[in-house]
Chains A and B, each alone.
Chain A
């Protein structure tokens, strides 16, 4: 073994000596194209990157306000003036402190939270932290950021980041967050594109909220969910339960995968005989993948034996009465399992049976099935067929037909619908008519198995931005920010009433500040109730109330938790005392 210290000694001697010779060779060595140069280029880029982040941190000291103003236009200036009033009078700093302090059990919890600000000059400042609501307010008023992001809770106050070695500063906890953005739906939207939204396509968001809200509560048992309009074309969700905040990165990734479906390719599926109709998105092949895969695979092998199990009667899963003229109950479940084929052939249908029978149903994860029954199925007609009119033109129906595995059926439908376009206006089929026809035909086709369900999932199931949810140190825009482009306030959405939420009429910066001015000018408003707050005079009122209910529920959970802990402690102590007493008694004998 070479002796390390000795090697190191010569190393330093030699690097010194090489100072000059490196200089003279430096230029030649950076010649591109050759292998050595190649690796070097890469490192330079990395190097540049590091410098960038340094610059970013270097800019921690906020630029003087004059400097900011110089770079922006007059209307922006007006925006900033309103924004400052908004921060001064309306932004709920105290409530934020209540929220992110989580009962202050750990009294530095709030202070260890990362905040980051985007200034009007486009300067982006990370790793800010504040000890109190007043601190936060003071700094926000001083900088007047056009965007506020909330990051993770670190092991230290993020503003002290530079005082420790790089590895010693780490993200510990964060709410489990979700980000759903309308642009991810562009391939199924027919009304608007990119940043635009309208009430029609907002339906996709409503569906996403309904499904995710239920899954997070019922499946994972989370209780404290804050849904927030992102100010333009999407929604965020902040799952704030203690258990959610403490989730590892792996756990977050698993939840995201659980909540994502990528419908398998219908055409390839029909040949492969894959039993799983829905595949989770992005398999990251994590560490213990194989251990698990092997456990599962062997299980799946055994599973394959179930074909030998006795074939049994029909099943009907429906616990909900839904008006549905073009599907019998049977099709709600349309199975593609070979097993099922077998079963179908052997036993006659019993369409009126209300319960799941004895036999094996096709695999349909309970969570997906529930989303399908409670939300997707209903919304498909309304959102996709009616609002989006997704079978309305040849271009649109071609997209849908592409998911039909039966190629012959595909072209038959296409021809028929094309013909129909030429008939008289009152005879031209609607999207709904075409869907009914397609469903009927698919039911007849041997190859189509789950194709109908697949199409519905493909069009409507929530599409998540996985990275936002997984990374512990990812930032997400704070609720109650003002979107600088639309002027809309990022208000909370009540998931119970999400169907009524209209993103086009949410309070705007101009609206709320204006309303406040008007209200405050009215003489009868001079005397106000002791604890009447400014927001109550604006359209923010119902949203603030929803936010406070959310806060109250968190506070109650915290209280319950503390009480249970205390009780447990007390019980333990009592037991200990009891034991001591008995010991003493033993001694006295």
Chain B
């Protein structure tokens, strides 16, 4: 992997060695911050390769969630911190004597390597690239904020970015404009360094009228330097990823890596569902499904009601719903009965010929005999785009605004949460919207059930539940918290809290 990448970096190989502030024990990592201009020259075991990548992926996902869910900047940082410290802990230079240089080196090496693995895994499509750039930039900026001022300054100096400092004479020539734009005293103006960049580099500042522009140049004060750094990081990584994408076909020499890489990339697309608790291993009988609908997430409720209405479901819908039922604990025998009775307008013969095969297929008894797992949200959302007469898919994505509202009403969602959900849906954050729905309707039960978790979560300022990744996760959470928050009931599967 590393060999093939060398051409991307041409001249920069020794960039880190020439920095002035090198503690030799830190090797190529004088700072906790890294622009990743040089690929890591190490031999790796496949094992390392995979765990590093997955750890980084966990952090990036936390970053993504943090920005979608936390409202205030410091809440975002606390949210990221939890995942960051767990999976990708990075000590700052001040800790060099506390924890030892070797530790710092190891952490930074892992950071470095894992970044480059994800580059390889996420360079293939524009969508993946965009996702990676966005999260990596946010992660970098998070670390940038955590770092000390002196370290930041040193890091920026070493980067040598192309952003000329405005001379004193030039600053004086636009002093009035700058002072009014920022509301500054003369003294403050004279003590501020400005950088002159094309206005296209600081669009957000331009849009917010927070920067003075003249003849196409934006005069960016040093306090907004992070914006410039973020933009530099972003455009640098975007370019590098595009270059990697072009180079990747040549990687075939090392065919051990291909499966690993594509499975990493799929982590973004499919979360395989692992049952949350042992308790869930209850068998669900064919006649218990209607009683459990209250715990179904919207996509499954939708399929269930379509099935009851039409006494039929089309192929993809059957797969989506059937595997979900399998996931909640319905064994094959029950599934065969369930589907047979559900398709009640059909003769036995029709059913056996056309559909029983399908059901057995889901359970790995036909065809390739794979034990298929239930579909994750991402899979439901991104694959098999439903046509006009289909019922499968994720309602947050497929429903019109009004229909979604009706659906939310059927869950008993209140107005404020409804607005939240509508907004998230509109912006394409379907799973986050679904999570909001869960919190709004099951939050209390969930809180009660997880009372012990409460304290630690409150401290980390984490949200109540992690983003919904899987319909079965939704079901499990709903069912378990309903059962545990009402201990008087003994048979959890009979609880139907919000079914209306």
Contacts and interface: CB of A to CB of B under 8 A. Distances in A.
Interface of A: 1-3, 6-7, 10-11, 14-15, 17-18, 21-22, 25-26, 28-29, 31, 34-47, 218-222, 243, 247-248, 250-251, 253-255, 257-258, 275, 278, 280, 285-299, 302-303, 306, 309-310, 312, 317, 337, 356-369
A312 B181 CA distance: 18
B209 A365 contact: yes
Given A306-B184, A356-B179, A363-B182, A42 B400 contact: yes
Contact of A36 (B177, B178, B306): B306
B223 interface: yes
B256 interface: no
B178 A288 contact: no
B301 A243 contact: no
A22 B398 CA distance: 20
**By DSSP majority rule, is chain A's interface helix, strand, loop, or mixed?**
helix
A384 B214 CA distance: 30
Contact of B183 (A15, A278, A362, A367): A362
Contacts of B386: 39, 43
A554 B227 CA distance: 34
Contacts of A18: 314-315, 354
Contacts of B270: 1
A363 B181 contact: yes
B73 A297 contact: yes
Contact of B391 (A36, A296, A366): A36
A286 B134 CA distance: 11
Interface stretch (B108-116, B200-208, B273-281): B200-208
B27 interface: no
Given A31-B309, A309-B188, A362-B183, A247 B200 contact: yes
30 contacts: A2-B372, A2-B373, A6-B367, A6-B368, A10-B358, A34-B306, A35-B403, A35-B410, A36-B302, A39-B386, A47-B388, A220-B216, A251-B200, A254-B203, A257-B209, A280-B209, A286-B204, A289-B204, A292-B204, A294-B73, A298-B226, A358-B186, A358-B187, A359-B185, A360-B185, A361-B183, A362-B183, A365-B181, A365-B212, A369-B177
B430 to A, nearest CB: 13
Contacts of A243: 216
Q: Which 6 A-B pairs have the closest CB atoms?
A: A221-B216, A36-B306, A38-B403, A366-B177, A221-B215, A295-B226
A35 B388 contact: no
A278 B208 CA distance: 10
B207 A257 contact: yes
B444 interface: no
Contacts of B226: 291, 294-295, 298
A218 B180 contact: no
Contacts of B272: 1
Interface string B216-231: 1100010111110010
Interface in B361-400: 361, 367-368, 370, 372-373, 386-391, 393, 395, 398-400
B316 interface: yes
Contacts of B156: none
B138 A219 contact: no
A151 B402 CA distance: 34
Contacts of A255: 206
B199 interface: yes
B209 A10 contact: no
A28 B309 CA distance: 8
Contacts of B208: 257, 280, 296
A366 B217 CA distance: 14
B209 to A, nearest CB: 5
Contacts of B354: 14, 17-18, 21
A98 B425 CA distance: 47
Given A258-B209, A291-B227, A298-B226, 9 more contacts: A29-B306, A35-B302, A41-B400, A220-B215, A248-B200, A297-B73, A310-B185, A312-B185, A365-B209
Contacts of B200: 247-248, 251
B210 interface: yes
A219 B137 contact: no
B204 A35 contact: no
Contact of A22 (B183, B361, B389): B389
Contacts of B367: 6, 10
A14 B145 CA distance: 55
B215 A369 contact: no
Interface string B160-189: 000000000000001111111111111110
Interface residues of B, number: 88
Contacts of A10: 315, 358, 361, 367
A361 B138 contact: no
Given A258-B207, A362-B183, A292 B230 contact: yes
Nearest to B130: A287
A338 to B, nearest CB: 12
Contacts of A221: 214-217
A253 B199 contact: no
A3 B368 contact: yes
Given A25-B310, A360-B185, A38 B204 contact: no
B230 A296 contact: no
Contact of B180 (A2, A3, A299, A364): A364
B134 A287 contact: yes
A582 to B, nearest CB: 21
B76 interface: yes
Contact of A42 (B185, B302, B399, B407): B399
B73 A40 contact: no
A220 B213 contact: yes
Interface string B303-331: 10110011110111001000000000000
A363 B185 contact: no
Given A255-B206, A360-B179, A366-B181, A39 B395 contact: yes
Contacts of A251: 200, 203
A280 B187 CA distance: 28
Contacts of A309: 185, 187-188
Nearest to A312: B185
Contacts of B213: 219-220, 258, 367
B406 interface: yes
B234 interface: yes
A381 B470 CA distance: 63
B391 A14 contact: no
B480 to A, nearest CB: 25
A288 B182 CA distance: 22
B36 to A, nearest CB: 17
Nearest to B231: A288
B299 to A, nearest CB: 10
Nearest to A29: B310
Nearest to A290: B67
Contacts of A364: 180-181, 183
B205 A296 contact: yes
B141 interface: yes
A290 B138 contact: yes
Contact of A34 (B176, B227, B305): B305
A25 B181 contact: no
Contacts of B174: 366
Contacts of A42: 398-400, 403
A11 B76 CA distance: 43
A299 B215 CA distance: 25
Contacts of B368: 3, 6
A580 B272 CA distance: 60
B395 A363 contact: no
Contacts of B303: 36
A366 B204 contact: no
B266 to A, nearest CB: 8
Contacts of B391: 36, 39-40
Contacts of B187: 309-310, 358
B393 A39 contact: yes
A255 B209 CA distance: 10
A275 B183 contact: yes
Contacts of B403: 35, 38-39, 41-42
